[in-house]
Amino acid sequence: MTRSHFRFVSVTGLLVLLVTASCSKTPPAAPAPSTTAASSTTEPPDAEVAGEEQTKTAIDYHNPLSPEQITEGWISLFDGYTLYGWESSDETVNWHVADGCITSDTGPIGIIHTTVPFADYELKCDFRYEPGGNSGVFLRTVHQPMNAQTDTYELNLADAHPTGHTTGSYVDLKQTDEPIVASGDWHTFHVTLEGDHSIVRLDGEVVLDFMDEQPDGPTSGFVGLQHNQGKVEFKNILLKPLSTTDLFNGEDLTGWRVVPGSQADFTVEDGTIHVTAEKQGFLETEGTYGDFVFQAEAICHHNPADGGDALNSGYFFRAKQGTEEAPSHGYEVQIHNGWKGDDRTQPTNAGTGAIFRRTEARRVIPSDNEWFTTTLVASGTQIAVWVNGYWVTNWEDTREPNDNPRQGLRLEPGHISLQGHDPTTDLSFRNLRVAEIPGH
């Protein structure tokens, strides 16, 4: 990619958010499929499966993240082919995917945004808008923002704006030191948003440093892209959650407890939580979490000579405190790296990243015997999961409320727990961390 440059000029104009990055029209091919099959679960039947709202689409696998970024906790908000995980505030705006970019050029003013919110994060985004155009990147936004001061941080994309909030400015909050013209070429935004403080970089240069002193500024919300005037394109939309708290100190199980009756062993080995089992067992956090971002790395130590196929485990969340009689009454993010034949879009046993008995992962990303990172966002009724930064589950729980997530919708905070599943269980976990999402 040829890197574009921006220039400073004295003009008034529109507000837009721009991001620069190379967007390949032909994403890399999917990794070679594994021949590992999947074993059947031994868990008892659960409540009736709720309606699944995610659509499985046969698309090529494109992950713009490097191994280093995956380890650091970055996730990709756009798969390069579809609008999976995005929701439009106005269906008459012609949001669509073309040439590996999210784009629009007709319709009224409106935004398309992620289905789950975030609070503190870094965001990288490549963008391009045509001369005379107006767009923006919306941070911590509500579904239909009406007030640019309290409903969102509107990072503008516009060469001219009536109040001087050109590209790189926050509309109605703060302008860049000099007006910026950035139309016509690809540019990259890199935003760091922590608490009331945000820093905006355009093509690597700081163009805005803002401290929000409003008593009612946004504390969390969706990531949104705006269509206002003219054609706009976005690609390589990456996010890294910030302000996370470690759940595991790497030395002992402080902050965790074994659920009574567990027939699994949880030990600390080489800075990891290692689990083996005879039958099911659970290790749960002492703390509880309701709306949050959770990230963790795991590896399934699978030796085919020991029998069985892909290993089985999971992360349980919003779980009731475990007892010997009811050890795992929570939602479960499945761990099972098995798929049918050579097609990773056909998971067996739901697939890693699924909400077990509620959804299937739309692609099995990892294989046994390799470390992989899971990112879970739970916000109200909406649940999203990324594996190695790739969005695999986007699900809304529309069931009737119930204190037990196995039976219905649970919004109340609950424990996070690790599962020992059966005699083949042999997994390690590390870098477990969580950040709560304040009301938005």
pLDDT, one tens digit per residue, over 192-246 is: 999 999 999 999 999 999 999 999 999 999 999 999 999 999 999 999 999 999 9
- With 0-12 / 13-18 / 19 or more C-beta atoms within 10 angstroms meaning exposed / middle / buried, residue 223 is buried
Enumerate residues 6+ apart whose C-beta is below 8 A from 179.
8, 9, 10, 11, 12, 13, 159, 160, 164, 166
The CA distance from 224 to 15, in Å, is 14
Residue-level pLDDT at 359: 96
- What is the tens place of the pLDDT at every residue in 124-169? 999 999 999 999 999 999 999 999 999 999 999 999 999 999 999 9
Domain ranges of the chain: 13-40+67-241, 245-436
Count of CB atoms within 10 A of residue 271's CB? Answer: 12
Q: Provide the residue count of the chain.
A: 440
Average pLDDT, the chain: 88
CA distances from 262 to 62, 71, 309, 336 (A): 40, 31, 23, 21
The answer to whether residues 340 and 348 touch, using CB atoms and an 8 Å cutoff, is yes
The CA distance from 100 to 79, in Å, is 9
Complete DSSP assignment for 263-299: -EEEEEETTEEEEEESS-EEEEESS-BSSEEEEEEEE
The answer to whether residues 227 and 110 touch, using CB atoms and an 8 Å cutoff, is yes
What value does the mean pLDDT take over residues 403-426?
A: 96
Q: Can you give the pTM of this predicted structure?
A: 0.87
The CA distance from 367 to 324, in Å, is 32
pLDDT of 369 strictly over 90: yes
Backbone dihedral region for residue 344 (phi beyond 0: left; psi -120 to 50: alpha; all else: beta): alpha
The CATH number that domain 245-436 falls under is 2.60.120.560
The CATH number that domain 13-40+67-241 falls under is 2.60.120.560
pLDDT of 26 strictly over 50: no
Amino acid 73 reads G
What value does the mean pLDDT take over residues 79-99?
A: 96
- For the record, the structure tokens of 68 come out as 């280093």
pLDDT of 21 strictly over 90: no
The CA distance from 206 to 11, in Å, is 20
pLDDT of 50 strictly over 70: no
Percent of the chain with pLDDT over 70: 86
pLDDT of 279 strictly over 60: yes
Amino acid 249 reads N
Same fold, 13-40+67-241 and 245-436: yes
CA distances from 317 to 82, 301, 383, 411, 434 (A): 28, 23, 11, 11, 12
Residue-level pLDDT at 253: 98
- What is the tens place of the pLDDT at every residue in 282-292? 999 999 999 99
Residue-level pLDDT at 59: 84
Residue-level pLDDT at 89: 94
The CA distance from 394 to 385, in Å, is 7
